[in-house]
Amino acid sequence: MLKILVYLRRRTKKAFDNLHNERLKNNLLQAIPFWIGSVITGLIAVFYAKLFVWAEELMNVIFDWHAWMIFIIAPIGFVTSWWLVKEFAPYAKGSGIPQVMAAVELANPKEHKKIRHLLSLKIILFKILSSLALVLGGGAVGREGPTIQIAGSVFRKVNEYLPEWWPKISKKNMILTGAAAGLSAAFNTPLGGIVFAVEELSKTHINYFKTALFTAVIIAGLTAQTFAGSYLYLGYPKTSNVGLSIMLPVILVSGLAGIFASQLSVLMLKISAWNRALKNDRQKVLFLIISALIIASLAYFVNREILGSGKEIMERTLFSKDKHEDWYMPFFRMIGPALSFTSGGAGGIFAPALSAGASIGSVISGWIQLTPNETNVVILTGMVAFLTGITRAPFTSAIIVLEMTDRHSLIFHLMLAGMVSSLISSMVSQHSLYDSLKISYLDDLRHEKEDIPDIKKEP
């Protein structure tokens, strides 16, 4: 009897060991695609960031050489950006975040083949080329949204190329994780990437893929840091010795930024709808040329800071003595994205939204004569509030600004700004810009005929 018990114990232990080893092997195989996608995302994000900075610098060099050249390069840049998207990758236009949101919703057995239109190798190539052409022409766009769509495309292709015997991985989880890794690599904000995936993309509990999400965000960020160096997107603005009296200006700026951001979203949606209704390409090209010339005229005759992503505005107002913008700059930093984002080319809204919020905070701080450190606090909260007004993701906005400046002491100020802006902007417009664009993409795709039965043949 004793021998039988010993024998059974050994057999049971061996069975449990085999089961444990099988689970470890399965978990490792499921983790490897996320790791591969994260490394590729980090590399592409660094390469894309360098190209984007070079394009902005080249645009400024041309402007410094002969300012009137902006009237030539702006129309060429806008039309080229639009043409690249129209001819080769229609769903590469705009930010890329609504496309990722639509892809997440399509990640079901009935509609998953349609995701290829939103996330693919072709999207990666023409997203980069189109956004570079637009920023070279002075377009007020950023690279963060495009990086998120690029990362989603990378993770989707990694998942697609897995052999048949590989443990199956949810397409939705891969896309969500890729988007989070993309934001982490673009801004060097790992926490922001995680919060973004939960708050903006999934809006669900992440228990089933939290390990993959966390590791992917970390690996993508570390890969980007390895090749670009450890950096903060903005740096360390001085915010010490600021009392509770700053809360009133923070609430004021947050409310104004929320109103302006939501109105900008409504305006961009109306322009986009009007642009889609244009009957032929000749009319669209005429619209692009007029938009480009408006931006060029404002840059040439008034202030060149309307051009580009607006990062220079954030850096100057936060780190120099020249902290106060002219009253019209917030409007300029909204006109630029309104015309650039609706051009039909590729380009993000994250950085332009941050710069618009910074300009609002800068103007209000000058009017009420705050100290330099108080001005920095109000500028940072303006950035959070305006980005929240666009995305309706207050926690993501607050965490992103927190991580890009390393000002942990301002966490309550930034959270307050996000919540105030979210409340105010929801009163102005019920749906966010991204939600409205996502619905538009889904409608287009669900009415589109499927003419490619095998997605593996897709580039």
List pLDDT tens digits, range 88-145: 999 999 888 899 989 988 887 777 788 889 999 999 999 999 999 999 999 999 888 8
* Strands in 347-417 per DSSP E: none
Convert 247-269 to b/e letters by CB count within 10 Å (16 or more is b).
Answer: eebbebbbbbbbbbbbebbeebb
Q: Counting runs of H as helices and runs of E as strands, what totals does the chain give?
A: 17, 0
Query: Is residue 456 very low, low, confident or very high in pLDDT (cuts 50, 70, 90)?
Result: very low
CB atoms within 10 A of CB 6: 10
Q: Could you tell me where the DSSP H helices lie in 167-320?
A: 171-187, 190-196, 210-228, 247-276, 281-301, 311-319
pLDDT of residue 32: 84
pLDDT of residue 277: 83
Q: Over the chain, what is the mean pLDDT?
A: 85
Structure tokens at 421: 């802006």
Query: Is residue 450 very low, low, confident or very high in pLDDT (cuts 50, 70, 90)?
Result: low
- Residues 405-422, mean pLDDT to the nearest whole number: 90
Question: For the chain, how are helix, strand and coil distributed in percent, rounded to 5?
Answer: 80, 0, 20
| Distance in angstroms (rounded) separating the CA atoms of residues 348 and 328 | 23
Report how far Cα 31 is from the mean position of its chain's Cα atoms: 25
- Residues 427-447, mean pLDDT to the nearest whole number: 83
Task: Give the contacts of 179 (CB within 8 A, at least 6 positions apart).
Answer: 97, 100, 148, 149, 151, 152, 196, 197, 201
DSSP character at residue 198: I
- Residues 186-213, mean pLDDT to the nearest whole number: 67
Instruction: For tokens 């189109």, name the residue.
Output: 130
Query: Is residue 82 very low, low, confident or very high in pLDDT (cuts 50, 70, 90)?
Result: very high
Query: Regarding predicted confidence, which is higher, 332 or 243?
Result: 332
Instruction: For tokens 């950085």, name the residue.
Output: 351
Structure tokens at 110: 């009935």
Query: Regarding predicted confidence, which is higher, 296 or 168?
Result: 296
Task: Give the contacts of 404 (CB within 8 A, at least 6 positions apart).
Answer: 187, 188, 189, 232, 233, 234
| Distance in angstroms (rounded) separating the CA atoms of residues 295 and 360 | 19
pLDDT of residue 451: 45
Strand partners, 142: 348
| Distance in angstroms (rounded) separating the CA atoms of residues 39 and 26 | 21
pLDDT of residue 31: 80
| Distance in angstroms (rounded) separating the CA atoms of residues 275 and 300 | 26
| Distance in angstroms (rounded) separating the CA atoms of residues 384 and 394 | 7
pLDDT of residue 18: 53
Report how far Cα 213 is from the mean position of its chain's Cα atoms: 17
- Find the angle CA(281)-CA(283)-CA(288) to the nearest 5 degrees: 90
List pLDDT tens digits, range 8-63: 455 555 544 454 566 676 777 788 888 889 899 999 998 999 999 999 999 999 99
List pLDDT tens digits, range 367-398: 998 999 999 999 999 999 999 999 888 888 99
Convert 344-381 to b/e letters by CB count within 10 Å (16 or more is b).
Answer: bbbbbbbbbbbbbbbbbbbbbbbeeebeeebbbbbbbb
Give the whole-number percent of the chain exceeding pLDDT 70. 88
Report how far Cα 51 is from the mean position of its chain's Cα atoms: 17
| Distance in angstroms (rounded) separating the CA atoms of residues 381 and 257 | 9
- Predicted confidence (pLDDT) at residue 4 exceeds the cutoff of 70: no
- Residues 166-180, mean pLDDT to the nearest whole number: 84
CB atoms within 10 A of CB 9: 10
- Predicted confidence (pLDDT) at residue 203 exceeds the cutoff of 60: no
Task: Give the contacts of 452 (CB within 8 A, at least 6 positions apart).
Answer: 113, 116, 458
pLDDT of residue 29: 77
pLDDT of residue 155: 92
Judge contact between 249 and 364, C-beta under 8 A.
Answer: yes
C-alpha pair distances (Å), 111 with each of 93, 310, 440: 21, 38, 16
Strand partners, 177: none
| Distance in angstroms (rounded) separating the CA atoms of residues 429 and 355 | 22
Domains and CATH numbers, the chain: 38-228 (1.10.3080.10), 244-444 (1.10.3080.10)
| Distance in angstroms (rounded) separating the CA atoms of residues 401 and 411 | 10
For the chain, the residue count is 459
- Predicted confidence (pLDDT) at residue 287 exceeds the cutoff of 70: yes
pLDDT of residue 192: 79
Task: Give the range among 82-91, 196-205, 326-335, 440-449 with minimum mean pLDDT.
Answer: 196-205
Report how far Cα 47 is from the mean position of its chain's Cα atoms: 16
Task: Give the range among 12-26, 149-163, 271-285, 438-452 with minimum mean pLDDT.
Answer: 12-26
Query: Regarding predicted confidence, which is higher, 306 or 168?
Result: 306
pLDDT of residue 8: 47
